[in-house]
Amino acid sequence: MQYWLFKSEPLTFSIDDLNALPKQNEPWDGVRNFQARNFLRDEVKLGDVVFFYHSSCTPPGIAGTATVVRAGYPDISAFDINSRYYDPRSTQEKPIWYSVDVKFSKKFHHFITLAELKIIPQLKKMTILKRGNRLSITKVSNDEAKIILALAK
DNA sequence: GCCAACGTTGGC
DNA sequence: GCCAACGTTGGC
């Protein structure tokens, strides 16, 4: 089982939005970066745990967790001409973009801000903390996950 | 709103 | 295949 961190802008889609859905699950679509796409297509597996990160907001940070309920499959938003994520280069026969489905797991009682993450020495290597990092899907090690989960209490 | 950092595109 | 130009991300 692998831990992940998925970024989302809460104004677009927040952990509360996920929680409020009838089935509390949703395709994680619209990823349009090849490195992140490769993770979604090849490495994110059923049962993996996702840290739900809120970006471009005040303050940014980790809001809770979700679980992967469906592994990589072609991102249908790329086929939808009315979607903001439409990409005519991606076809049913040769899809370029992938999504996974995630299900709400829990909202942290304590929202862990980016500033908090930054001051923990053991988290220094987290991809999210590296300068200029923009990757929206990143791996989180077991050790890092443990620390984050402890912080959330 | 600013701007550093980075990914992608496209001309050559 | 190089690389400049451009667009986007995301913290501040």
Shortest-distance nucleotide from A33 CA to C1'? B7
Q: What stretches of chain A adopt beta strand conformation (E)?
A: 3-8, 25-28, 49-54, 61-74, 98-113, 137-140
Work out if A57's Cβ lies within 7 angstroms of strand C.
yes
CB A122 within 8 A of CB A116: no
- For residue A153, the model assigns a pLDDT of 86
Nucleotides in chain C near protein beta carbons (<7 Å): 8-12
Distance of C1' in C5 from CA in A133, Å? 21
User: How large a percentage of chain A has pLDDT more than 90?
Assistant: 88
Q: What is the pLDDT of residues A59-77, one digit of tens each?
A: 999 999 999 999 999 999 9
CB A51 within 8 A of CB A4: yes
Distance of C1' in C1 from CA in A104, Å? 45
Work out if A1's Cβ lies within 7 angstroms of strand C.
no
Distance of C1' in B2 from CA in A136, Å? 22
Distance of C1' in B8 from CA in A34, Å? 10
Mean per-residue pLDDT for A16-28? Answer: 95
How far apart are the C-alpha atoms of A106 and A129, rounded to whole Å? 23
